[in-house]
Amino acid sequence: MFGFLNLNRPRFTLIIGDDGVMLVPVRVTGMGEAVFAGARDAAGRQAVQAILAQQPQVPLTILANVTAQDARVEDLPPLNVLDRGKLARRRLRQAFADSYAAGCRLTGRRSAVLAALHQGGAVAGWLEPRAPLTTNLGLLPLESATMVTRLMPEARHGWAVLLARFATGGLRQIVTQDGRFVFSRPTPVPVHDDPRHQAAIIADTIKASLGYLSRFGLNDSAALRIGVIMDAATLAALRDKLTGSAPLLLTPQQAAVALGQNDVGEDTDGTSDILFATYVAGQGIVLPLLPPALHQRRRTAWMAYGGMRVAAGLMVIALALTGWDGSRLGYQLYANARDARAVATMKQTFLAEQQATAPDAKPLARLRAALERQRLFTETPVLPWAMVTQLATGLGDAARLVKYDWHADDSAKITLRLTDHAPDVKDRDAMLDAFKKVTNAIADALPDYVVEVTRYPFPALPQETLTNAGGEATAAPDTATADLVIRRKAP
């Protein structure tokens, strides 16, 4: 999304040192060789500024190679990730409270790298006018520490020191232990044409570093792996002064080949500015440093940049969802229209076939009506005469049928009254016995039916109550009736 996230995008790398600045274009269209401007070369610095102003959209990586910088490894107690980060930031504020720009990065479970640029100086003049989203700042030795193990793979275990000469800042050494950055020391090297003098300065620097590294735990100086990037003449003179060790001596061009980089120019003065600038451009900034004011500008720019794109992204998503729903609705409307056309076609086909078969359908309709009438007249209905005949047999002369209610399911509800031919019914018990005899006679005459008494002439069942609705008690035997239900037995 931004230039720093795409390492293959064209970019500028600007190395700023005490002796000058060097602008190195990396894959920038229309730019060829690097441009160097000395510390007192105002015209050269204006030329560099003009180049950057012509292409403000190209990301710029500034590498500080000045003396007023510091980077150290801080040991941390065993803590979780969040607490380690908080502790590292707190120690960073304590160690570099008054620095121009500072930053920290966890390098393991028990260590962190703290880095700071103490004075803005020339760096501030190049950094602040730039857009915050296209500019980054880092320390050259810290960002180049991985070059040591790239050139000397055996340096992944043990101590190693890499020395290189820069047009922007003299001689600088980068010390690592087990492939991790430990510290860096600059050494001013006067401009001298005598390679032997240059070699002597480098040898003295290495000797001083051996004594300094003993304070960090280096016990055997033979275990220190040494790499030197210099011009060919100085390297030849240096071989005689480092007879006790087997250093890696490379020109900037040879180092570029070993790192798989493009040509860094012709071998002239043996400076490594272009080599380091190209290497960092291909690796990216490990520990970016920004002053608080520029950090606030970057955060505001990030919010504006990201907010606009988030809004655009949400709008795209909303449009996509709307389009998706619209496509589904359109498809449903199409399906409904298609089904409606199919129904209309089927209806037309049905009407056409109905009209075609109309002459044959009329006789069939008359035939159906005739068959229905035949069924009605030929079907033997269920009639009550068989039950009535058998019921008359069961009644005999003892009782008379007062009410007969017959149903189509071959069941009946009847009301009986005793006749004068019944036995003497002077009291209640005699009347009950008379009705029971009549009920049993009816049941014998109707063996396919169930006969039940639903009401006696006076209370005889548990749920019945006494009443004189039939008149006086003396008239009850002559007018008393009983209700019965007759229904066919279940098959």
Taking only the tens place, the pLDDT of each residue in 415-450 is 888 887 666 666 778 888 888 888 888 888 888 888
Rounded CA separation 396/389 (Å) = 11
Per-residue model confidence (pLDDT) at position 473: 42
What is the model's pTM? 0.60
Per-residue model confidence (pLDDT) at position 21: 93
* HEC profile of the chain: CCHHHCCCCCEEEEEEECCEEEEEEECCCCCCCCEEEECCCHHHHHHHHHHHHHCCCCCEEEEEECCCEEEEEEECCCCCHHHHHHHHHHHHHHHCCCCCEEEEEECCCCEEEEEEECCCHHHHHHHCCCCHHHEEEEEHHHHCCHHHHHHCHHHHCCEEEEEEEECCCEEEEEEEECCEEEEEEEECCCCCCCHHHHHHHHHHHHHHHHHHHHHHCCCCHHHCEEEEECCHHHHHHHHHHCCCCCCEEECHHHHHHHHCCCCCCCCCCCCCHHHHHHHHHHHCCCCCCECHHHHHHHHHHHHHHHHHHHHHHHHHHHHHHHHHHHHHHHHHHHHHHHHHHHHHHHHHHHHHHHHHCHHHHHHHHHHHHHHHHHHHHHCCCCCCHHHHHHHHHHHCCCEEEEEEEEECCCEEEEEEEECCCCCCCCCHHHHHHHHHHHHHHHHHHCCCEEEEEEECCCCCCCCCCCCCCCCCHHHHHHHCEEEEEEEECCC
Amino acid identity for residue 153 in this structure: P
Per-residue model confidence (pLDDT) at position 466: 46
Per-residue model confidence (pLDDT) at position 127: 81
Task: Please give the span between the terminal C-alpha atoms of the chain, in angstroms, as a whole number.
Answer: 90
* Residues of the chain predicted below pLDDT 70: 1-7, 132, 190-193, 217, 219-222, 243-245, 262-268, 298, 301-307, 361, 379-382, 421-426, 459-479
Per-residue model confidence (pLDDT) at position 276: 93
Per-residue model confidence (pLDDT) at position 301: 62
Rounded CA separation 55/12 (Å) = 10
Rounded CA separation 491/480 (Å) = 35
Per-residue model confidence (pLDDT) at position 6: 59
Per-residue model confidence (pLDDT) at position 1: 39
Residue spans of the domains in the chain: they are: 3-68+119-290, 323-377, 385-488
Rounded CA separation 124/158 (Å) = 37
Question: pLDDT tens, 73-85?
Answer: 888 998 888 898 8
Edge-to-edge strand ranges of the sheet holding 180-187: 180-187, 170-177, 159-166, 225-229, 248-250
